[in-house]
Chains A and B, each alone.
Chain A
Amino acid sequence: MKKISFLTLLLVIGLVVAGCSNDTSGGAEGEVGGEITVWAHPFTGDAEKEEEMWDKISTSFQEEYDAEVNIEIIPWANRDQKILTALAANNGPDVFYAIPDQMPQYADVGMLLELDPYLEGYDMDDFVDSALVSTTWKDKLYGLPILQSVDTLFYNKSVIEAIGEDPENLPETWKEFEAWAVKAKEQGFYATSFQGGGSMNNTLYPYIWQAGGDIVSADNEVLINGEGGVEAFSFINKMYKNGWIPEDSVTAMEQNALWEDGQMLAILGSGNTLANLQNKGKIDFVIGPPLKNKKQAAYGTTGMFVVPSNTDNPATAAEFVKTLTNAENQRTFNKVTQYIPARESSKDIFDEQPFLSQLASYTQYTLPGVINPKGRDIMPMIQAQLQAMLEGDVTPQEAADAAAEAIEGAVSQ
């Protein structure tokens, strides 16, 4: 008797589960209208300016369509969890913000709406090519890009002078950078930052790409322990053992204080680093190009807006994403947030901002991370191997091989 009632309970729960998740319809149907909810995040920390910006963008949409748009600003904290939880209950937003390594993971399990059917007659050519690469998964487009960023080196001018180098003539290759690093170390400076507790996108990956290697391809070919990969592991190991990067690089989440205090030659940063430096005006800086060993490369994210596949109002949601990422709204958005617009025609906002346009010129070298549904799963595995190497437990070759093995296991599941 007890057993039967328990089984019934299981059945009921099972039905609830199935019932909650039985809602996948595609196709470009439906009229634009009704109400949609958009989840964005505090991009700058200046809530007032951002509110104005969103008002302007949603007004531009409502002028054209008879639809209501609720913009909700969601804190960054535990953002994945919040989105997944809400979508699971079929109670999520109709449009939300995603980055390139999230997108394939979500698209692969059918969580995102394919946008191609909605794009007839929409100006796609104006989008930056490298941005569209990041919004596409298996030849289908799942998001439209709003912003790009590029990670490159910001040099402290007074440190450059202290080591007797020329700020007009910044390092372009690993070799040149090494020469500077040695001098910096001699003078008691750190050469650069390495936030080993953070994302591999800002640590290991750019070095792998610069060495001509890759991590794992979209069709699951593991490349991390190839020649380029091992070279990157070795280079990082050398930087750590020689004290070119700080002692806490194994797990550090940020090393801003060392940079702010003038103890570091160069910090890896992007748009917000620039905004901070300009606001404070304390450090005199120059921006250097992304380094190269075999190939010039940098990590650069592409921020995009996507539509979940269980939205009640796909037509309006898709239309809003289109309006949000048009040339005019890209200008509005990126002027406030100080990112690089993902459309060529919107890049005119930099005319008076030489540093931003310098950053924008590097977007041609950027790669968006690992585009694979397991892209984010494998990151902690690679991180652990990298940390083991920095702690001196394994050699660079062993670390790369162990990372490759772990990736192999993850993608074969």
Chain B
Amino acid sequence: MKKFFTYILLFILTFSFLLPFLIMVLGSFKEVEYVLLDPFFWIPNDPSIANYTYIFRDGIFLRWILNSVIITIIPVFSQMFLCAVLGYIFAKKKFPGREAIFWTFMAVIMIPQQLLIIPKYIMFAQFGWINTYWALIVPELWGIMGVFLIRQYLQGIPNDFEEAAYIDGANDIQIFFKIILPLSIPVVATVGTFSFISNWNDLFQPLIYMTEEKMFPVTVGLASLLGKEGNFGVEMTGSTLSFIPTFLIFLFFQRYFTEGIQMSGLK
């Protein structure tokens, strides 16, 4: 009886979580300009790939994908590494002002990015970074939420290994690479995946920093294809295309998630 109830609940939840995704994918095969009243308007009774051929009409879409890959992959790897290092520093190292620095980091990410955009833009313009990858890569090289997660994780790991290694004469860079990093691979993979999702899907920053069509990432490129009124079919197609890589990354790394987020302190 309890099982039955669980499955009913599971079914309802599955349906509602699946719905936007179904609308997106099926809608991409339908030529319809805006949302209609009919609850099933997005089901293509006459499926067409017109929206896809429109998006792929010239090579520029591939260039947008390349741009997205560049501005995503570099920060992802850099974040995985630097967040691990910083997580280790803030979890295990003792130095004056450690807590103060960490909580300053935490405080500053709470500022709305909408406001920082003008000072940042002025600065990037001075650096000559507008319409270059630098503007989207350099500020994203590490991220405080990743540091926070890894710090939480490492705080739960006993110091025994580390101390044994010190006694053996290792320095702490060796300890980081030989002991800490291997131990934190699952949580680092989690940080990498979330960083991938957020960088790949970011529309706001590239929209402001990029004006040349050939520098657009996929998100901005797709927005530039839409007229003033938008176009439902093209929007769904674009979203489906940019959705695929993020979802694949999730599927591929999700087995790490569970391990990664588990904190040893829970045992």
Contact = CB atoms under 8 A, between A and B. Distances in A.
Q: Do chains A and B touch in the complex (CB under 8 A)?
A: yes
Contacts of A263: 37
B-side interface size class: 20 to 34
B228 A43 contact: yes
B38 interface: yes
Interface stretch (B28-36, B165-173, B186-194): B28-36
Interface stretch (A70-78, A115-123, A153-161, A324-332): A70-78
Contact of A78 (B118, B208, B211): B208
Interface in A44-97: 44-48, 72-78, 81-82, 84-86, 88-91, 93
B119 to A, nearest CB: 9
Contacts, number: 96
Contact of A73 (B34, B203, B224, B231): B224
A166 interface: no
A257 B204 contact: no
A42 B227 contact: yes
Interface in B52-66: 57
Contacts of B118: 84-85, 88-89
Contacts of B203: 77
B261 to A, nearest CB: 34
A75 B121 contact: no
A289 B88 CA distance: 71
A72 B216 CA distance: 11
B163 interface: no
Interface string A31-50: 00000010101111111100
B160 interface: no
Given A76-B228, A272-B228, A257 B35 contact: yes
A70 B122 CA distance: 22
A261 interface: yes
A331 B159 CA distance: 76
A263 B37 CA distance: 10
Given A42-B228, A45-B227, A260 B207 contact: no
B223 interface: yes
Among B33, B124, B126, B227, residue most surrounded by chain A Cβ atoms (within 10 Å): B227
A37 B213 CA distance: 13
B24 interface: no
B248 to A, nearest CB: 26
A60 B52 CA distance: 33
Among A37, A45, A72, A258, residue most surrounded by chain B Cβ atoms (within 10 Å): A45
A45 B229 contact: yes
A88 B85 CA distance: 37
Contacts of A44: 227
Contact of A81 (B33, B37, B208, B213): B208
B9 interface: no
B121 A89 contact: yes
B125 A45 contact: no
Given A73-B213, A75-B207, A257-B35, A85 B228 contact: no
Nearest to B120: A85
A20 B119 CA distance: 11
A42 B122 CA distance: 26
Contacts of B124: 89
B218 interface: no
A82 B36 CA distance: 31
B34 A45 contact: no
A78 B207 contact: yes
B13 interface: no
B221 to A, nearest CB: 9
A93 B212 CA distance: 12
Interface string A134-151: 000000000000000000
B228 A257 contact: no
B37 A42 contact: no
A89 B229 contact: no
B265 to A, nearest CB: 39
B225 A42 contact: yes
Given A75-B207, A77-B223, 12 more contacts: A42-B224, A42-B227, A44-B227, A45-B228, A47-B57, A82-B207, A89-B122, A91-B125, A257-B37, A261-B36, A261-B37, A276-B229
6 contacts: A46-B227, A72-B212, A72-B213, A75-B223, A89-B122, A257-B34
